[in-house]
Amino acid sequence: MTVYSTSKGSHYLMSQTLSQSIQYLGENATMNLFSVKNVNLGSSQTVFNPDGRPIADTVQLSMRSSSIGSNSVDLQFFYDPYDWSFPPDLIINGQLIKPSLQDLGLDDSWDKNDPANLSSVLGKLSRMMQHGERERVAHCENERIQVEYSCLHDMTEMDCCLIPGVDGPTKVLFAVPFHVPYTQEGKKRRLKVVAKIQYFISSLMPNDVSNAKSRLETLSSFEYPEILEAIPDIGQQEHIVDFVERVTRKVSDHFQRKEKLGQMKKEFIEATIKTFRPCLIEYDDEDYKQASFLLIVPKEGRGDQGSTAIATFSLPDAFPDEYPKVTLSSPYMPFDSFLSPPAPESIKIEKYSPRWGVDRMITEIWEQLWFEIPRFHNRSYKASIAPTIH
């Protein structure tokens, strides 16, 4: 039995086969170098659902073969509404090459249950359309372009085109997709990026590259675009494969360093908890950025409980390159007073080195707090017994 649903924005009913293909194409649009627009559903008007509504059995769309080239094509897919296991027929308008249905996977290899089936057909057609552009770049007489193309031509998804200059320099464009592996929060991830490179060739010096520009675009979700934006453009003498390696290393190193810094934050907070466990008030057990303790410095030779303060350790994003921030605040007011308690006080750490281990960091900070807490406690005490003015 075939399941039908009403397509969004249309009165046509879509089969599950067609619905999942259209949905997959939209959800994975950013993962492809080709682009699709003007997707319209149609019906032969001869097949109807039992309730009288027409069933969509044709799909019309416009496809641009790549993100840098100018080739575009209009396509019409015709499905068999009686048996969706058959691959659709296809009419191509605006394209000189006429691939066979077998070339596009519209044969016995067609799987109606594969959500990527329509997207796969478009990808194959896109690569065929790019073949002519590749040939023009491959026969460019500029030595630098020949070197770049020879290094990249085996990449299936690589795209390139040559735009002859009329009133300006000739442009040669490359779109090179690649994956960047990195580790985030202990999980291995992969970022798909496309490097778009432009070379400018002057008619006065046809065997030289007068300028080179680059732009990086993500083909998968990425929450840190500023990392890519901070990477300098490709150098005029830098090869594309070297640029790709530089980008890969930059992103991987960023997350590797971030993982290392996160581990050091965790080690520092865990070490403070171990050192001051009886005094622990609260701590951040997710990002390990903060911990608070009720610390007491005893007074020698006296029977009272000593000097008391709440010490909050806060770790900046750049820790350990930046020292921990320590803030002292008053836990209570010893006497009845209408005066506000003293404001929390930030303590400037006097002895610190990012090269120290966490145990020494905590030891040095505690030795400083041994003097800072009594001073802060006395200030709190004086503020609490100050005369009230009526």
Q: What is the pLDDT of residues 88-137, one digit of tens each?
A: 999 888 766 778 888 899 998 999 889 999 999 988 888 787 777 888 89
Q: Which CATH class is domain 4-130?
A: alpha beta
Task: Give CA separation, 237 vs 137, 138, 173, 198, 217, in Å.
Answer: 19, 19, 16, 13, 22
Amino acid 289: pLDDT: 92
The encoded tokens of residue 131 equal 């073949």
Neighbours of 40 (CB within 10 A): 13
For residues 13 and 263, the model is more confident at 263
CA 33 to CA 131: how far, in whole Å? 14
Determine how β-strand 13-15 pairs with β-strand 35-42: unpaired
Q: What percent of the chain has pLDDT over 70?
A: 85
Indicate whether 141 pLDDT > 90: no
CB 216 within 8 A of CB 228: yes
Indicate whether 364 pLDDT > 90: yes
The encoded tokens of residue 349 equal 């750490």
Amino acid 303: pLDDT: 53
Amino acid 271: pLDDT: 94
- Does residue 52 come out as left (phi exceeding 0), alpha (psi in the -120 to 50 range) or beta? left
Fold of 276-384: Ubiquitin Conjugating Enzyme (3.10.110)
Indicate whether 337 pLDDT > 60: no
For residues 120 and 304, the model is more confident at 120
Indicate whether 304 pLDDT > 70: no
Determine how β-strand 187-201 pairs with β-strand 170-184: antiparallel
Amino acid 1: pLDDT: 42
Same fold, 4-130 and 276-384: yes
CB 294 within 8 A of CB 306: no
**pLDDT-derived band of residue 219, with 50, 70 and 90 as boundaries?**
confident
Lowest mean pLDDT among 167-176, 303-312, 321-330: 303-312
Amino acid 307: pLDDT: 87
The DSSP 8-state label assigned to residue 245 in this structure reads H
Segments making up each domain of the chain, as ranges: 4-130, 140-257, 276-384
Indicate whether 147 pLDDT > 90: yes
Type of residue numbered 172: V
Indicate whether 378 pLDDT > 80: yes
